[in-house]
Structure 1
Amino acid sequence: MQLLAWSGETWLLPRAYTELLDRWEQREEELTARARLCSCGAQGPYWGGWRRHNTRTGYVTMCPPCAGEACQLYTGHLRGVLYETLRRRNTRADAYLCRLCKESPAAAWDHCHEHGYVRGPLCGSCNTREGTGIPYYFLRLEGAARHLLECRGCLQQRTLPRRFHIDVVRAHLEQTERHGRCHKQPYARELEHAHGVHRFQLECSGWHATGNWTKDVTASEVAALVRALVDASLAGQEGRPSPGTATGAG
């Protein structure tokens, strides 16, 4: 701040300092370009590019074709194995391709925190989406529900981890509920949960001044909607249940 000088109209900096900032910006761009460069010479996009993965040799950047050649495809051979058992074996995940995005090398063994079973290898980005991301958006990823069912406990019980249940209902309500004769899809969010009933508020206010209403969904209806999504996923119909696949909350 002491380098700044006020000319009466604008702030001025010494020429040597501005040249230093320019060199720093140029160097940063060079390093960013190098970080986006795969060993084959292909360069990834600036945003949302190929993930750098912590392997035995450090961080690397790999394009999807190179990652596919360098990594094994996970075939489900650890299905039914407890995560703690896998940790004791010190089985590495970075030898495999992420089974969800199928573009980046895996960084960790994803597992179900409720039942403890291994689901499969995921890259750092996909593992973060599953573990700490918003469930509503994770479930919209292709193959997401099927991946969650790699847990033997969830598969046998025909359910998903509890943190996904409300967002299954949200997606169902947005798909099936409408404000009067309006054909626009509303936005749903949970207002409260009391005495086994989840109350959702649906908003169509972007299209109507009074387009707000509530919908109550019981615990049994939540379970039915989750079961419908599981059955659809196992049948190869990845995505949200179609209207009418579960009764009560539609």
Structure 2
Amino acid sequence: MSERVMSGRTDGLITLFAANALWVDLTAGSAVPTAPGAFTCFPARARAGYVLLGGHVVATVRAGGGRWAVPEVEVRRAAAGLNAVGMDRQDLVRVGPFRGAPGQERNEDMPLRWRRRVMGELQESGGPERAVRREAGRLRHLAGIDWRQVLVERTRDGTQRTWWLPRAVVRLLDAAEHAETRWVRAARPRQAGAAVTVPLSRPRRIRDAGGRRTTSPESPTVSLRPYRKELEGQLYSVLSRKPGTSRRVAEWACAVCRTAPATVLDHCHEHGYVRAPVCQSCNTQERPDHLYSNDIRVANRYTRLFRTDTDDWLRHWHRCPGCRARTTLPLPHLAAWTACTACRSLRPTHRAPGGRKPCGVLRVSWTGSQNAPRSCLLTVAVDFCPSGEHRVLARIPYREAVERFRVWLAETAPDVAAAAGPDRLDGLPAQFRPVIADTSGEDLELF
């Protein structure tokens, strides 16, 4: 390790190649396998100003001769954190593929997006065996972790393949994404070189009464029709296939904010009914932030959905006849409500400037199916809490969560609650169309 400390420097910087060797050396006895080339092989981002090692971000700096370097103490700190992680190779979490399950949202603040990378690598290479034999320079690690060594493949009926990773590795990679997001957002103001003026609006293509295309001015003067329940009770699978539906949607104002033009038909993924035409911004706000098909992270935007703009969103969600008849929300939304509203008093807080601040990031997972309520259990946890990396706050049966929501709905939005219930709606199908994964079985089948 004679190369470890760079000549002419006394601040403990080491070259990337020396850091690679140090990382492997320090983590040789770790329960989680690590990979060589953590600082120099794809997808390491040394030139972006940082490198991920487990759940830690190690800053990179430009040293003498144009070479990139990292502080040795940070590498040792990241290695110590990884060595402290225990791993049970029998405690596995399925990482894919999930048929019909919602995919991870694209987030420019998370270049890692490890689930997408793992699935793309395995599906392109044909499986873990071929993935190991990929040519040099391709994906070799994720956050310094050699995930291939602990990847488990299971096959059903000799045809359907599923891939699994130990829970400890999944949590480390989740922590890496979280740390990367915070790093990029914190570094962005420092990297902004000049102010960029973005126009508030752009010319927009519309159709006049005769069907001819025209271009609207910078501030659109076209009047948008308010939504009057014209699509209530219709199935999205039927309506979305009808010619001209997109053009018809663009004529409405968003049914939630009522100011922006609608761009998409929002629909209930649990029952299949159309809710209303909404703008892209509102559609993104209410979309569950899925980690897996049965696991969501409760983003900060849910504070607005369940507190400041509660009445508008509850009214919108209950435009689905299935949710309105059952006086509930789709399972991911009910899980988010349970975490940030029903379990609010259970969330730990920590001292912060100006008062105490809720710590960590809320996450909710569930086992079983909402269509078999006795088997469905919601687990509310806090990730990245200083007093415990993954801390379980509560485990709540589905039926109890529904009853809590009904009581809260009657107090918060009495008009919405008064219009709900099975006696308020006739003609519902005998069976709803579920799309949520049932995780009570070994194979995580979709209904």
The CA RMSD measured in Å over matched residues stands at 4.4
* CA apart distance, 1:213: 5.8
The residue number in structure 2 matching 1:94 is 250
Of 197, 208, 228, 2:377 maps to 197
SS state at 1:70 partner: coil
- Going from structure 1 to structure 2, the CA distance change for 1:128 and 1:54 (only over 3 Å counts) comes to farther
Does residue 225 of structure 1 match 2:404?
yes
Equivalent position amino acid for 2:251 in 1: A
Q: What does 1:62-141 correspond to in 2, within 5 Å?
A: 66=220, 70-87=223-240, 88=242, 90-91=244-245, 92-131=248-287, 133=289, 137-138=301-302, 140-141=304-305
- Structure 1: runs of 5+ lacking an equivalent: 1-7, 11-24, 37-43, 45-49, 239-250
The residue number in structure 1 matching 2:314 is 145
CA distance in 1, matches of 2:385, 2:313: 31
- Going from structure 1 to structure 2, the CA distance change for 1:120 and 1:179 (only over 3 Å counts) comes to closer
Normalising by structure 1, we get a TM-score of 0.58
Contact 1:197 1:216 in 2 (8 A): yes
Contact 2:377 2:395 in 1 (8 A): yes
* CA apart distance, 1:220: 1.9
Aligned length, in residue pairs:
194
The residue number in structure 2 matching 1:20 is none
SS state at 1:98 partner: coil
* CA apart distance, 1:163: 1.7
CA distance in 2, matches of 1:98, 1:119: 11
Does residue 214 of structure 1 match 2:383?
no
The residue number in structure 1 matching 2:40 is none
- Going from structure 1 to structure 2, the CA distance change for 1:192 and 1:84 (only over 3 Å counts) comes to closer
CA distance in 1, matches of 2:203, 2:367: 41
CA distance in 2, matches of 1:118, 1:59: 30
* CA apart distance, 1:169: 0.9
Of 335, 338, 342, 1:166 maps to 335
* CA apart distance, 1:58: 8.3
CA distance in 1, matches of 2:226, 2:277: 10
- Going from structure 1 to structure 2, the CA distance change for 1:185 and 1:130 (only over 3 Å counts) comes to closer
CA distance in 2, matches of 1:76, 1:135: 30
The residue number in structure 2 matching 1:41 is none
* CA apart distance, 1:80: 1.7
CA distance in 1, matches of 2:288, 2:415: 26
* CA apart distance, 1:215: 2.1
CA distance in 1, matches of 2:259, 2:218: 9
CA distance in 2, matches of 1:233, 1:90: 38
CA distance in 1, matches of 2:409, 2:217: 35
- Going from structure 1 to structure 2, the CA distance change for 1:231 and 1:99 (only over 3 Å counts) comes to same
Q: What does 1:10-49 correspond to in 2, within 5 Å?
A: 33=198, 36=199, 44=200
- Going from structure 1 to structure 2, the CA distance change for 1:96 and 1:120 (only over 3 Å counts) comes to same
Contact 1:200 1:215 in 2 (8 A): yes
CA distance in 2, matches of 1:51, 1:112: 31
Normalising by structure 2, we get a TM-score of 0.35
Provide the identity percentage.
25
Contact 1:62 1:104 in 2 (8 A): no
- Going from structure 1 to structure 2, the CA distance change for 1:110 and 1:200 (only over 3 Å counts) comes to closer
